[in-house]
């Protein structure tokens, strides 16, 4: 792969992988070893989290089109080998979470993908991209499950910060689904929300206890899109910068000094 052409994104936009589409790969163990190694990379590279999570779902029976998707990830990494997660000194230590879901995007079982990222000040400190365990009957349900996921992570981070004597501030969760946001503040249960009642009560309790605040965000500003679906080049690069994945070459000395001042 060292002589291959670098790719601008880890996955083709609008690509939908399925279980049975092409022939099986000749060496499934090799596929699993490569994908397993890529999982370690997602610890510091949130920009490949969605793509790696997707190809991990076919480890039990990898096929040629799955391997083709893995090679695309490797070509993307070849072109971004000097990229990394930027952590800067920051006086603001407010927690903010962004969450999103891609409703019923899996063509095999119609389960949704949840994604979220959590910032401490301007620094990205936690993120996740994974398939939901249950089939969601609406976009609101899928989005609400994502809100519950990021809320649980933020509550844990907040408790850790409390032990470190970091002053508390009200964490904010940003979601681009207005219906899901409105439900967080509505104490009335409806038949349409009964099937995700546990997540409902969990988030509502945290909002009521003033432990988190859920805010609507226009879809074009939803950075968690990167963690739920493959994006076109321009869109992906824009959100990659928001995820603080960059190189030192793209930072001017003035910006570096300002960020550490």
Indicate the domain borders of the chain: 1-81, 95-226
Answer whether residue 260 shows pLDDT above 50.
Answer: no
Band the pLDDT of 84: cuts 50, 70, 90: very high
Q: Which residue, among 67, 171, 80, 76, has the nearest Cα to 119 in the 3D structure?
A: 171
Phi-psi label, residue 112: left if phi above 0, alpha if psi -120 to 50, beta otherwise? beta
Check if the beta carbon of residue 139 is closer than 8 Å to that of residue 63. no
Q: How far is CA 161 from the centre of its chain?
A: 22
Answer whether residue 119 shows pLDDT above 80.
Answer: yes
Q: Which residue, among 71, 70, 106, has the nearest Cα to 1 in the 3D structure?
A: 71
- Which alpha helices (DSSP H) does 42-110 contain, by range? 49-56, 64-79
Check if the beta carbon of residue 8 is closer than 8 Å to that of residue 79. yes
Per-residue confidence (pLDDT) for residue 185, from 0 to 100 = 81
Per-residue confidence (pLDDT) for residue 28, from 0 to 100 = 95
Per-residue confidence (pLDDT) for residue 115, from 0 to 100 = 97
Domain covering 95-226, topology: Nucleotidyltransferase; domain 5 (3.30.420)
Answer whether residue 230 shows pLDDT above 50.
Answer: yes
Per-residue confidence (pLDDT) for residue 257, from 0 to 100 = 42
Answer whether residue 51 shows pLDDT above 60.
Answer: yes
- pTM given for the model: 0.89
| Mean pLDDT lowest among 35-49, 79-93, 115-129, 220-234 | 79-93
Q: Where is pLDDT greater, at 200 or 103? A: 103
Q: How far apart are CA 106 and CA 131, in angstroms?
A: 9
Band the pLDDT of 92: cuts 50, 70, 90: confident
Band the pLDDT of 189: cuts 50, 70, 90: low
- % of the chain exceeding 70 in pLDDT: 90
- Residue 10 dihedral angles phi and psi, to the nearest 5°: -75, -15
Per-residue confidence (pLDDT) for residue 190, from 0 to 100 = 54
């Amino acid at each position: 792969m060292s002589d291959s052409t670098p790719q601008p994104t880890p996955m083709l936009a609008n690509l939908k992988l399925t279980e049975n589409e092409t022939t099986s790969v000749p060496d499934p163990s090799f596929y699993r070893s490569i994908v397993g190694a890529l999982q370690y990379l997602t610890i510091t590279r949130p920009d490949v989290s969605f793509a790696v999570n997707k190809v991990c779902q076919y480890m039990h029976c990898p096929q040629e089109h799955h391997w083709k998707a893995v090679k695309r990830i490797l070509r993307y990494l070849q072109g971004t080998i000097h990229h990394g997660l930027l952590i800067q000194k920051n006086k603001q230590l407010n927690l903010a979470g962004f969450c999103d879901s891609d409703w019923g995007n899996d063509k095999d079982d119609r389960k949704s993908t949840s994604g979220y990222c959590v910032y401490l000040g301007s620094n990205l400190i936690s993120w996740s991209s994974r398939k939901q365990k249950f089939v969601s009957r609406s976009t609101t349900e899928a989005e609400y499950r994502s809100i519950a996921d990021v809320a649980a992570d933020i509550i844990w981070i907040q408790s850790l910060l409390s032990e470190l004597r970091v002053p508390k501030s009200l964490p904010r969760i940003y979601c681009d689904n207005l219906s899901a946001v409105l439900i967080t503040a509505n104490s009335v249960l409806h038949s349409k929300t009964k099937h995700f009642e546990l997540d409902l009560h969990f988030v509502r309790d945290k909002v009521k206890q003033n432990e988190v605040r859920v805010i609507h965000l226009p879809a074009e500003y939803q950075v968690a899109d990167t963690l739920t679906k493959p994006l076109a080049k321009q869109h992906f690069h824009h959100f990659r910068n928001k995820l603080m994945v960059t190189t030192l070459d793209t930072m001017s000395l003035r910006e570096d000094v300002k960020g550490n001042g």
